[in-house]
Amino acid sequence: MAPLTGRKVLAIFVAAFSVIIGVNLLLAYQAVHSFPGLEVENGYVASQSFNRDMKAQKALGWTVQLGYESGVLTVDVDRAPGSPADVASLGVLVGRPTEAKEDKRPSFTRRGDRFSAPVELRRGKWMVVISAQATNGTHFKQRLSLVVPG
């Protein structure tokens, strides 16, 4: 076995720190390039009406249930158990929680109390952002998680 010299120790340190720095750079790159963006343009402006908007949304008494089966995403918006909500418009964003490249905005059709849209989702965790408006003009927004088994 060869003796441990100063050059070998230096090579070990350089190799070890090269791996550490390389992994850190890779993780930083992935974090920056997969970040989907801002939630709001100006947090201060959004905060000015947050409490008022939250009270109005809670006063609607809406609950949202998601379903996904055979390539069809369903959204049920109810006011009380079994009582449909008075939804004037519905917009839905479906995407991964950590990146925006798979974001989809499916077009929903209403059949009775249920909104449904064909959308192909691969297995894994999905973020579903519901944006709706009641017939009285109150805005409703909720973010839900959906796990597609596979």
Residue 101 DSSP SS3: coil
Residue range 60-148 forms a domain whose CATH class is mainly beta
Angstrom CA distances, 86 to 47, 49, 54, 60, stand at 27, 23, 18, 9
The pLDDT assigned to 79 comes to 85
d(CA 118, CA 74): 9
| The pLDDT value given to residue 144 | 95
Nearest 10 degrees: CA dihedral of 23, 28, 33, 39? 140
Looking at residue 26, the DSSP 8-state letter turns out to be H
pTM of the model: 0.72
Give the pLDDT score at 27: 95
- Tokens 């004037």, located at residue: 88
- The domain limits of the chain are 60-148
Render each residue's pLDDT in the chain as its tens digit; 150 residues.
Answer: 889 999 999 999 999 999 999 999 999 998 888 776 677 788 899 899 999 999 999 988 999 999 999 999 999 988 876 677 889 999 999 999 888 888 999 999 998 778 999 999 999 999 999 999 999 899 999 999 999 997
| CA 60/CA 43 separation, integer angstroms | 25
Q: What was the pLDDT predicted at 105?
A: 96
Instruction: Report pLDDT for 127.
Output: 94
**CA separation, residue 110 to residues 75, 90, 129 (Å):** 9, 10, 18
Q: Which two tokens stand for residue 104?
A: 């989809």
End-to-end alpha carbon distance in the chain = 52
